[in-house]
Structure 1
């Protein structure tokens, strides 16, 4: 009978110790997996940030190009306004007798100013 009790107690003690160590190992494994998941998540976030930065740089270059184009177009519009105003002034001066002379004069003015 003593042998049965001793065997039962030692089996129970072994089972309890095994359970404690397994529990610690499982807890440590769970923490390790959580840490790896967080690292993986951070890697994904870093990759996303990298992509967004590249997109932002591309957009910055595109905005600069469009800004340069806009400045060039504004300059051309300014030149066209000058020509338009000269033509309007010339039209006010034109009559049947001086039409060719006024047209020639305005053409020469525009060429001399290197506007068009």
Structure 2
């Protein structure tokens, strides 16, 4: 009745199942509905770093623009203070800087709070 047996049809109360090379062709099925109650959360790594160009610009102009950048996925958030609520690690990679040029940054998959 689910259409998993190729070419099968019902005559009265009996199913007629055709054979292909001596065997019926059965497509694989699933046992019950797919689970949606325990979906795994995709953790996207957040990268936190200090923008030295903004620090120099603030020093020269006297402005107070935010110098800390938090990048998670394609979203950038700027602020003066970042609180990380969980484990994180500080990375120093002088030979493999980030695409923005940062050589020291913090990585975390934990939640964080940016204070502007």
Regarding TM over 0.5, the answer is no
- What band does the TM-score fall into relative to the shorter chain? under 0.3
Give the TM-score, by structure 2 length.
0.20
Q: Give TM-score, length-normalised by structure 1.
A: 0.20
Structure with bigger gyration radius: 1
